[in-house]
Structure 1
Amino acid sequence: MEGNMGVIKNRKWFFIFLLPGLLFYILSVFYPIEESIRLSFMEWNGIGDKTFAGLQNYVTMFHDPTFYKSFLNNLIYLLIVVVMQLGIGLVFAVLLTFMKKHVTFVKTLYYVPCIITTVAIAQLFRSMYATEPMGLINQFFQAIGMEGMVTSWLANIHTALMAVSVPEGWRFTGMYMVIFYAALISLDPSVYEAAKVDGATDFQILLKIKLPLIKDIILLTLTMCLTGALRGFDIPFLLTSGGPGNASELLSTYMYKKAFSNNQYGYGSALAVFIIIESMLVVFILRKIFSERKECKES
């Protein structure tokens, strides 16, 4: 009886300690989502009375050419960011496992961009992309005799989207490098030492043994990276505000403009709901793919 009472008491304390965090999460995450869903069915300019509009905001959204342009831009932005953050981060992490000295220094060096403020990063890349005065990137192309590549990267409709994607990809590459490095060095060496004895190369060991063993970490980082890229806003907005035209417009920047610049809070909320659903769908698909692969291997 005393044992059962102890369990009950422990459970009570568990919920007591959990309650502050749970309340904070509800107020900071669930309540804004609920408000966005509610406002997406309204017509509201932010000042007057709200008018129920039914599905009109969603109908307008799916007939809006700028919405589709923003969605396509988001996919391209996502591809660039994921390849840079996870691809380069994984390569650097693997190279780091072969280093014997100055590992901490290199990790710190690559992690620094993660702690730099967004405004500073935006200003850094704006200076690098500039033509007047000539930025670092244009100076480089000029120095190697490729003057044809010199352009105003943020004002050119053909390069603006790539130009706003690269800073975001570069910014968190170091963070994912540290995560992958921690996962790789935590593996038991005896697992792949036998493969080395059998003549397997380092690349084969990485591909066939190490990466499958850290698949849960890969799923986690892929989820973080994809959902982060789908919500990408700050650096693209600071650099181009979606311009020139709609060349670098993302769903998040378009949502911000509609809600806070045009005072179309209902339509902006509908765009926000779409972004939420899109992010949840990506997470669901990723988990489905990874779970199916796991089931196939077990069978």
Structure 2
Amino acid sequence: MEKKNRLWIAIFLLPSILIFCLIYGASVVTLFGSSFTEWKLASKLEFTGISNYVNLFADKNFLKALSNTVIWALLQSTIHIFIGVTFALILSKKEFYWKFARTAYMIPNIICSAALGMVYLSIFNPKFGAVNNIIRALGVEDFSQNWFMDYSSAFFTVTITWLPFAGVVAILVLAEIAAIPEAILESAKIDGAGEFKTNIYVVLPLLKNIIGTCVIVAATSMLKNFDIIFMTTNGGPGNTTLNLPLYIYKTSMLENNYGYANTIGAFLILLGIVMLIVINKAFKLGQSDI
């Protein structure tokens, strides 16, 4: 009986696996294969060995894009996760405002990223944006600036645009908190643990798996983030906000250097795999704590 069930499972999974291999597998193989070539518009592919990979680490634009991508991944998977988890712990008390706050915090996450980029352009507009208007109203006009185009503020401002992701983290963590057996929390209270200690020593350890999953989503999302940067700064000023996805776009579409762009793409895939391995090891995902 068990063998028959496994056979039917395999039969139903086979079409999906084949489609996945045809669409994604073939694309990845093509990507890695062409990364060892010089391939420009209207020219034949010319095998160049590992020269593209060697050139990566002598390319200042690539190194800047790489450092920005890694820094954003670290910020997204620490600060934004911290905000989301804190927000979830507050909402778990189910005060009178919790349903409204939960819904309001999710609204930015259902808006298209490109449209959200336009919203941020309006909010941070140097002439009529809400941020500069508030600064002027407070009488500190010297602090008003062109947030997305100033070297000193562009990176910080782009980082702020991803704060709504903390809302997604909050909802996921909140669902996990609701699944914690009430008996465990009651035992902590009986032992004399206050609300703060219960959260730190009981609740948070039980949230390890979901927090680890959120960290994976947060970190890897920075490896494919394109829309908001493209709409707000286009990688500027200079290369202050350039990241790897945007650099791939510029290299392929503006410079028509498809071979080198695919080399960057291959490196990006390898970087994502390394991130997944490190995060899985750090959080020991898949191991139950209850």
2-side partners of 1:205 and 1:227: how far apart?
A: 31
Which AA in structure 2 matches 1:19?
A: L
1-side partners of 2:143 and 2:94: how far apart?
A: 36
TM-score by length of 2: 0.93
47, 50, 65: which one aligns with 2:45: 50
For the 8 Å contact 2:84–2:170, the answer to whether it is kept is: yes
2-side partners of 1:156 and 1:114: how far apart?
A: 27
Give the 3-state SS of the residue equivalent to 1:156 in structure 2: coil
1-side partners of 2:23 and 2:235: how far apart?
A: 27
Q: Which residue matches 2:9?
A: 14
Count of residue correspondences: 288
CA separation of 1:84/1:112 partners in 2, compared to 1, >3 Å: closer, same or farther? Answer: farther
Which AA in structure 1 matches 2:138?
A: I
Give the 3-state SS of the residue equivalent to 2:49 in structure 1: coil
Aligned 1:147-162 pairs, distance under 5 A: 147-162=141-156
222, 234, 238: which one aligns with 2:231: 238
Q: Which residue matches 1:186?
A: 179
Q: CA deviation at 1:68?
A: 1.2
Which AA in structure 2 matches 1:285?
A: V
Q: Deviations over 1:247-275 (max 9, x none)?
A: 11011111111112111111111111111
Give the 3-state SS of the residue equivalent to 2:163 in structure 1: helix
Q: Among all aligned residue pairs of Structure 1 and Structure 2, give the percentage whose two residues are the same amino acid.
A: 31
Aligned 1:131-150 pairs, distance under 5 A: 131-132=126-127, 134-150=128-144
Q: Which residue matches 2:57?
A: 62
Q: CA deviation at 1:119?
A: 1.9
Aligned 1:23-42 pairs, distance under 5 A: 23-42=18-37
Which AA in structure 1 matches 2:143?
A: M
> Which region of structure 1 is more displaced relative to structure 2, 87-96 or 12-21?
12-21
1-side partners of 2:256 and 2:116: how far apart?
A: 29
Q: CA deviation at 1:279?
A: 1.0
161, 172, 176: which one aligns with 2:169: 176
Q: Which runs of 4+ in 1 moved over 4 A?
A: none
> Is 1:226 aligned to 2:181, yes or no?
no
147, 165, 176: which one aligns with 2:159: 165
Q: Which residue matches 1:255?
A: 248
Which AA in structure 1 matches 2:192?
A: G
For the 8 Å contact 1:69–1:249, the answer to whether it is kept is: yes
Give the 3-state SS of the residue equivalent to 2:77 in structure 1: helix
1-side partners of 2:115 and 2:214: how far apart?
A: 25
TM-score by length of 1: 0.90
Q: Deviations over 1:98-147 (max 9, x none)?
A: 12445443322211111111122001100011113x21111122222222
For the 8 Å contact 1:259–1:268, the answer to whether it is kept is: yes
Q: CA deviation at 1:91?
A: 1.2
1-side partners of 2:95 and 2:145: how far apart?
A: 42
1-side partners of 2:231 and 2:14: how far apart?
A: 37
CA separation of 1:272/1:8 partners in 2, compared to 1, >3 Å: closer, same or farther? Answer: same
2-side partners of 1:139 and 1:70: how far apart?
A: 32
> Is 1:282 aligned to 2:257, yes or no?
no
1-side partners of 2:151 and 2:143: how far apart?
A: 14
1-side partners of 2:272 and 2:252: how far apart?
A: 20
Q: Which residue matches 2:105?
A: 110
> Which region of structure 1 is more displaced relative to structure 2, 41-50 or 245-254?
41-50
Q: Which residue matches 2:66?
A: 71
